[in-house]
């Protein structure tokens, strides 16, 4: 406990500007929250970073999104998929590139965390459609992608501290999991507030582990169920095969059948084969 408190004190002194968001992906999210944006704004911004633009096109042409005609430009992607989905893909593409570290242990957890975040994003979008809430599928996708951003922030903080010869004791598996459990919601919420992210995503980060939750918040309810499904399937740092999804309150709120739960689990497994 004393060591955990020391690590917490060290982490809270780290800058929130640590690389957990790509600046262009972040700007795209914030642009779409404005009332007067135009499609050309989205296209121009996405094209500012050619590496990121290339990743967006790679995703747009993946089996999940591909249509009859190959998407050759960001403009084509926006026309085919819509500005919101292209913005989400930019965030996903950039997040995939951020989950890496020179430390073998930290890299292991960053990669595992990315598997979990991708599965949650993919599963949330799938479940929103499956449960009849297609109008929130883009929000559900982003909530799934970002809900554990606090864990990425903690890993990036520890990486930075460790590079300076500090907090080496934290690079032990058991302590790392303890730090995740105690700090990831608090630090994730701090990060989201600092970047002025939309409230729907702030709530996803802050409330996805709450014992009590707002059952009228459809996106949060979807996220909580998909997060539990990933844990049950062992996708992510925390695994719990004893979870019974049919017994969860979220399943009752969404009025899901056992066949629909099986469909969700299949989609989550499929997501691991479609990583960008």
pTM score, two decimals? Answer: 0.88
pLDDT in the model for residue 232: 96
Pair 178, 124: CB distance under 8 Å: no
To 10 degrees, what angle do helices 173-194 and 2-11 make? 30
Pair 228, 124: CB distance under 8 Å: no
Residue with tokens 């939750």: 213
d(CA 234, CA 241): 7
pLDDT in the model for residue 171: 66
pLDDT per 10-residue tile (average), the chain, 276 residues: 68 76 89 87 92 84 67 87 87 87 88 94 95 95 95 89 70 78 91 89 96 96 98 93 97 97 94 67
DSSP for 167-217, written as a single string: -GGG-SHHHHHHHHHHHHHHHHHHHHHHTT--HHHHHHHHHTT-SS--TT-
Which residues have CB under 8 Å from 70's CB, separation 6+?
A: 61
d(CA 260, CA 1): 42
To 10 degrees, what angle do helices 74-81 and 83-98 make? 120
Four-way CATH pick for 2-17+100-271: 1.20.1560.10, 1.10.10.10, 1.10.3210.10, 3.30.200.20: 1.10.3210.10
Q: Which two tokens stand for residue 128?
A: 């929103």
- For 204, phi then psi, to 5°, come to -60, -40
DSSP for 23-62, written as a single string: HHHHHHHHHTTSTT--HHHHHHHHTTSHHHHHHHHHHHTS
* All structural domains of the chain with their residue ranges: 2-17+100-271
Q: Find how far residue 157's CA is from the centre of its chain.
A: 18
pLDDT in the model for residue 181: 87
pLDDT in the model for residue 77: 87
pLDDT in the model for residue 148: 96
Pair 148, 184: CB distance under 8 Å: yes
pLDDT in the model for residue 24: 92
For residue 124, give the nearest of 227, 198, 207, 209 by alpha carbon.
227
pLDDT in the model for residue 170: 61
């Amino acid at each position: 406990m004393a060591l955990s408190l020391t690590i917490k004190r060290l982490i809270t002194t780290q800058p929130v500007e640590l690389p957990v968001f790509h600046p262009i992906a972040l700007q795209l999210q914030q642009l779409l929250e404005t009332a007067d944006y135009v499609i050309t704004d989205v296209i121009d911004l996405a094209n500012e970073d050619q590496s990121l633009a290339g990743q967006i096109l790679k995703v747009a042409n993946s089996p999940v999104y591909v249509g009859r005609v190959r998407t050759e430009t960001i403009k084509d992607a926006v026309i085919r998929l819509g500005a919101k989905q292209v913005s989400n893909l930019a965030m996903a593409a950039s997040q995939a590139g951020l989950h890496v570290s020179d430390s073998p242990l930290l890299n292991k957890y960053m990669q595992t965390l990315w598997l979990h975040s991708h599965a949650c994003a993919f599963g949330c979008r799938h479940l929103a459609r499956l449960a009849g809430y297609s109008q929130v599928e883009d929000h559900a996708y982003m909530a799934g992608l970002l809900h554990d951003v606090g864990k990425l922030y903690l890993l990036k903080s520890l990486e930075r501290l460790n590079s300076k010869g500090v907090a080496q004791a934290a690079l032990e598996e058991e302590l790392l999991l303890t730090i995740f459990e105690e700090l990831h919601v608090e630090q994730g919420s701090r990060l989201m507030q600092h970047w002025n992210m939309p409230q729907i995503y702030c709530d996803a980060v802050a409330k996805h582990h709450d014992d009590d939750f707002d059952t009228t918040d459809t996106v949060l309810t979807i996220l909580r169920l998909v997060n539990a499904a990933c844990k049950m399937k062992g996708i992510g740092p925390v695994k719990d095969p004893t979870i019974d999804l049919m017994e969860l309150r979220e399943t009752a709120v969404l009025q899901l059948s056992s066949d629909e739960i099986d469909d969700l689990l299949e989609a989550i497994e499929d997501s691991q084969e479609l990583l960008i």
